[in-house]
Amino acid sequence: MLTYDPAIPSAQKAELENAVREMGTRLPAKSGNIPSDLFRRLDGMVAATADPGFAAACPPHAWLSYDPWIGRGTPVDEGPYAYTGAACIWICERTFREQRVMGTRRVAAVLLHELVHVLCGSELDAEAFEWLLFELDGATAPDGGDWESFRLYNMRGRWIYLDTHRTPPQIMDYQGRSLGGFTAQNMPPTCANLPAGFLR
């Protein structure tokens, strides 16, 4: 279940509600690419087709707000998209701005990314599921800082790991199933320009 901060302005609230509706349809459509326990928790949060038994036993919950200040006055490509502490998510103005400019579902992609963090997913988990659900429609490819974080944890997340011996790197579940790849196209930095010895 998601609770909206009452202070969110109406324009951003409407965009967030659209994003939650989009996730409510996209999650079941992509459920084959999401480990079932993660799927149930995410689906329970957006309250689309939640398993009532699961929701009653362990209601997943997040509080959702809007930050108009961080990144204000900077160029469009600076500042965070969002940040999360415990179960509180702030979506920043940059995300809404990019959605307006690019005409993609950026708000939904960022919200999904942050929900994975609320469920204690790592940066790799959050980037991977953002990519798998919103590739070419709001997801951004991992940047240099993201790759540093992936490397720190040996390319392993809570629900998936990255097979970097394949091109493009494959997002794998722990049953050894490939869920998809970070395509080299649209992916700065590509495997080719990562520092030497980066991929092991």
Q: What residues make contact with Zn ion under the rule CB under 5 A?
A: 123, 126
Of 2 and 112, nearer to Zn ion (C-beta) is: 112
Q: How far is the CB of 126 from Zn ion (least distance, A)?
A: 4
The closest of 33, 32, 55 to 43, measured between CA atoms, is 55
- Any idea of the CA torsion for 200, 186, 152, 197, to the nearest 10 degrees? 30
Q: Which residue is nearest to Zn ion (CB)?
A: 126
How many C-beta atoms surround the C-beta of residue 21 within 10 A? Answer: 13
| Amino acid identity for residue 137 in this structure | D
Rounded Cα distance between 71 and 149, Å, is 22
Q: How far is the CB of 123 from Zn ion (least distance, A)?
A: 5
In order, the DSSP letters of 93-120 are HHHHHHHHHH-S-HHHHHHHHHHHHHTT
Of 22 and 123, nearer to Zn ion (C-beta) is: 123
Q: How far is the CB of 19 from Zn ion (least distance, A)?
A: 16
| Residue 16: C-alpha distances to residues 3, 37, 177 (Å) | 11, 24, 32
Of 15 and 114, nearer to Zn ion (C-beta) is: 114
Of 98 and 123, nearer to Zn ion (C-beta) is: 123
Q: How far is the CB of 176 from Zn ion (least distance, A)?
A: 25
